[in-house]
Structures are given as C-alpha cells and as structure tokens.
Amino acid sequence: MPLAIDPDVTVELVLRTDAGKTSPPMFVFRHLSGRQWRALRGLMDRLRAAADMEAILATVDEIAAVLAGRLLCCRRCVDEEGHGNVLNAEALAILRPAEVAELAGALMDAAGPTAADQSKSPSPSGSDSESPARGTADAGAAT
C-alpha cells in the first residue's frame, strides 16, 4: 500500500528547539503523496526566493495549509496560554514561519527520494537545512 494512504504508517516530528526536552511536542503526519511533495517543493522554493515579508507570510500560509491536510495530531502541544489539547489547525497556527518551514522540510525529507534514489538523480534534497526537524521514528515504521 502506498505510504501516503497507509493508515498505520506515520511520520513523527519534533522541532529542533524542542529536541532536548524530556517530553517534547510531537507533530504526527501522514506521509506526503507525490503530488503534495512536489507542491511543497515548489512552495519551499518560492519561500526561499521571496523578497518581502508579505510574500514570505503568504507562502508560509500556503505551506501550513498543505501540512494541515496531512497532520493527524500534535501530541503534548499546548496553546499560547499553556492549555493542552490543541487542535491541529491551532498547532500549526501558533508556529513561527521558520518552524512551519522546518516541519515542511522534514516531512518532505521523510517522503522524498531515498539516498539510493538521489544518487541516481540530480535533484537535491527537499530541505536545504543541514538538520531539519528530528523524526522520532523510522519514516517507514508503523507508529
């Protein structure tokens, strides 16, 4: 079964800023489909090329919309007042633009071509970050 539609396979991501915490907030996503991966790739390219804050924020909103469609839950997430049980849309809405881009890059890396595929293709990684959000489980493992 394709990973993008397999209900038993998820990608769990923790932001770099939360990586050292005992119980960090964890974003749980379904894998991206090929079409979603390509859409995010285009949005990330547009984000890198954006010249003004208005263009940056508009692109981040589009990236967040794609992520929201794949976000299953946010474990141990709290809202701005420190209350738990944050809804998925709120979990992405309270993130800074750089954190939205970090999650997108990490999710793209989890769903993108493998190292073996990349050695056959001139296409670069979906993320230009050297250390994107840390996955807490093997991207191919069921959680």
In a domain, 140, yes or no: no
- Residues of the domain holding 38: 3-135
In a domain, 27, yes or no: yes
In a domain, 28, yes or no: yes
In a domain, 14, yes or no: yes
Q: How many domains does the chain have?
A: 1
Each residue's pLDDT, cut to its tens digit, for the chain (143 residues) gives 777 777 788 899 999 999 889 989 899 999 998 899 999 999 999 999 999 999 999 999 999 999 999 999 888 887 777 777 676 767 888 889 999 999 999 999 987 655 555 555 455 555 555 555 655 444 444 43
In a domain, 142, yes or no: no
Q: Distance between CA atoms of 106 and 1, rounded to whole angstroms?
A: 22
The pTM (predicted TM-score) of the whole model is: 0.73
Comparing CA positions, the residue from 33, 45, 42, 44 lying closest to residue 6 is 33
Q: Distance between CA atoms of 34 and 86, rounded to whole angstroms?
A: 29
Are the beta carbons of 66 and 107 closer than 8 angstroms?
no
